[in-house]
Amino acid sequence: MTMEDLVSLDPLQVIDETGAVVGELPDLADDRLVEMYRLMARSRDFDRRATGAQRQGRIGTYPMLEGHEAAQVGSATAFEPDDFIYPGYRERAVEIARGMSLDVILSYWRGLPTKQWDVHALKMMTIAVPIASQIPHAVGHAYAARLRGEPIVTATYFGDGATSETDFHAGLNFAGVMNAPTVMICENNLYAISVPYRKQSAAATIAQKAIAYGIRGVRVDGMDVLAMYAATKQAADVARSGGGPTLIEALCYRFGAHATADDARRYRDADEEDMWRPRDPLVRYRRFLESRGLWRQDDEQALLAAAAADFSAAMDSLDETAIPPRGDIVRHAYSRIPRLLVDQINALERGVGEEPTRFDPSDVWQLDDDPEPSGPTVTMTMADAINMAMADAMERDPHLVVMGEDVGLTGGVFRITEGLQAKFGEERVIDTPLNESGIVGTAIGMAVSGTRVIAEIQFDGFVYPAFDQIVNHVGRIRFRSQGHVSLPLVIRWPNGAGIGAHEQHCDSPEAYFAHAPGQTVIVPSTPFDAKGLLAAALEADDPVLFLEPKVLYRAMKEEVPTDHYTISIGRARLRRPGDDVTLVTYGGMVPVSLAAAEAASAEGISTEVIDLRTVYPWDVETVVDSVERTGRLVLVQEPQRTGGIAAEIAAEVAERAGYSLLSPIRRVTATDAPWPQFAIERHALITPHHVLAALRQSMAG
């Protein structure tokens, strides 16, 4: 398909290249018409000056927008002030149209913390670099707002290259299924960096892709600001009235390169650019205004002079901005800074002779002691305890949402959510499409909007498609927004081996997520702990990954209080006191380790067993104190050896208590191979015999 073919596919148009009216004019007062041009012209002036500032080394790599002004200004001005925007990374004109100050915009491209980018005040999320990943966020935000009775619409912007990404398809599918009041705007500039549209999609248009998801699709001349306004206003009105989402394809052209690090001459020629230049959105709209007596050359000169002055003032203010102290690089990673992070930043500071940052105690994660069980109790399994914790939380918070595959009618494959949909309804216990990235991405948007969410991933090995959403967004949004956004989100999944299941049903991926910053990773081992830790997670400001050892779901019962209680996240639990050797473990390996410790006691080995419960941030003090007393350390984990939780603990203990060790640290782990098929799973499982052997070796020196 040629460029000419694409252009001739009859997009919605209101004014042509000469500025003549060829369609139905939207009902806009003259001052609104003029203001739209002012925003477009200011955006282009900003864009050119920012490009120049990058060439001077005053800002970092910068993605240009010239040619997108009409698509962005026309759509942005069609939304109501309370509507919420999820941008990509090229939406400078949207930011300017929404009233964002230039110094805030530039601070991002300067590489400075965007302290003034108040997401909720501006009704606009921070920049999303991972392509298309923000689309499900907009969908979830819109759904949650509608559930709370708020008449808002969400919008999200992305390019044509994004339509090849998984999250584009997940976002559109979830939007259609959930009938979310969302407008999705694809700025089709015909190139994804250098890859032309014909190599991106075989579809004649992007708009027609909406049909597959049961939603409206509209193709618009994205260089006609009035057409973009009209199409977006209609889409927003439809969404607001309950008519569902719309995909708008804004056909435009990127006159510059993808970014200042790119050279467009390597993949397109001047003739192509010359073909598009007569469609310049500013030129055609200025002609329209001039024909109606609404714009003069004097107005143009005054606007450009003011724009130049504003840009210079913004850049100057950034030049004068003091670089924040080193301690700020950890300040917004969590609502309260884990002690591990405090120790790490202080070590960096001491290493270069700086005074360690002293954080206010109220800003540091405090660990409380376990609650004493009180009130009535019921003997229950871990599965029962988790179900009770979720039901209690949903009673306490009428907006809390549970979502995932099969969580509703059937109660999940392990029946952990059984009965919740019958009690709380389909809008709050949502059977979602089978797409893990979509589940987590939609949950993120709900959480940004202020709705607390429990997202379930059906099995441990199925979480990997959501890895991008978890690592790039769940764990980073608070830091990226400099604390303006909390993410009250719990992601649960059945974890680990031992049930004789097929491939991808027995993984233990906790180390991947413990390595990723900004989130908490919990692995409980008893019904009492599972209920208390999940209750705490559902009151936390920070996102929590809650990994439930499936082998323990119904392996044991214990007395669990029926009243609400919480357990301090990050606090390890002493399962068995001992004097000779410290054994640290978590999750499904706790009963295995306790059995080994009991066997060791018959041989005169007194083993102290510590259950981490939270594998990040983990309780360093409890572990180190124990090792300093016993002089020995054995670590037990179910998954692969290299880069695991055990390796991290071994390294930390070696640094902090190395001189207390009387024998080498021992690790009992699986091998660095995929988990075997269920008929031979027993060859990979850690048993009490393996752990007992390590205890003996530790005592032998």
Active site residues: 505
Q: What's phi and psi for 240, nearest 5 deg? A: -65, -30
Yes or no: say if 664 and 699 are a contact pair by the CB < 8 Å rule.
Answer: no
> From CA 281, how far away is CA 283, in angstroms rounded?
6
> From CA 523, how far away is CA 518, in angstroms rounded?
17
Q: Where are the beta strands (DSSP E) in 428-502?
A: 429-431, 453-456, 489-495
> From CA 428, how far away is CA 405, in angstroms rounded?
14
Yes or no: say if 92 and 456 are a contact pair by the CB < 8 Å rule.
Answer: no
- Type and span of the H or E element at 200: none
Q: What's phi and psi for 9, nearest 5 deg? A: -85, 30
Q: How far is residue 689 from each of residues 497, 567, 581, 644, 701, measured CA to CA in Å?
A: 18, 32, 16, 21, 19
Contacts of 53 (CB under 8 A, 6+ apart): 59, 62, 106, 315
Nearest to 17 by CA among 287, 272, 296: 287
In terms of DSSP bridges, do strands 573-576 and 607-611 run parallel, antiparallel, or are they unpaired? antiparallel
Yes or no: say if 425 and 401 are a contact pair by the CB < 8 Å rule.
Answer: no
Yes or no: say if 511 and 643 are a contact pair by the CB < 8 Å rule.
Answer: yes
> From CA 415, how far away is CA 422, in angstroms rounded?
13
3 state SS of 269: coil
> From CA 198, how far away is CA 478, in angstroms rounded?
38
In terms of DSSP bridges, do strands 154-159 and 216-221 run parallel, antiparallel, or are they unpaired? unpaired
Yes or no: say if 125 and 79 are a contact pair by the CB < 8 Å rule.
Answer: no
> From CA 207, how far away is CA 113, in angstroms rounded?
36
> Token digits for 337?
């800074």
Amino acid type, 539: E
> Token digits for 324?
């924040």
Q: What's phi and psi for 628, nearest 5 deg? A: -65, -25
Q: How far is residue 75 from each of residues 129, 237, 309, 502, measured CA to CA in Å?
A: 21, 13, 27, 49
DSSP class per residue in 39-63: HHHHHHHHHHHHHHHHHTTSS----
Amino acid type, 602: A
**For residue 493, what are the β-bridge partners?**
547
The DSSP 8-state label assigned to residue 474 in this structure reads: I
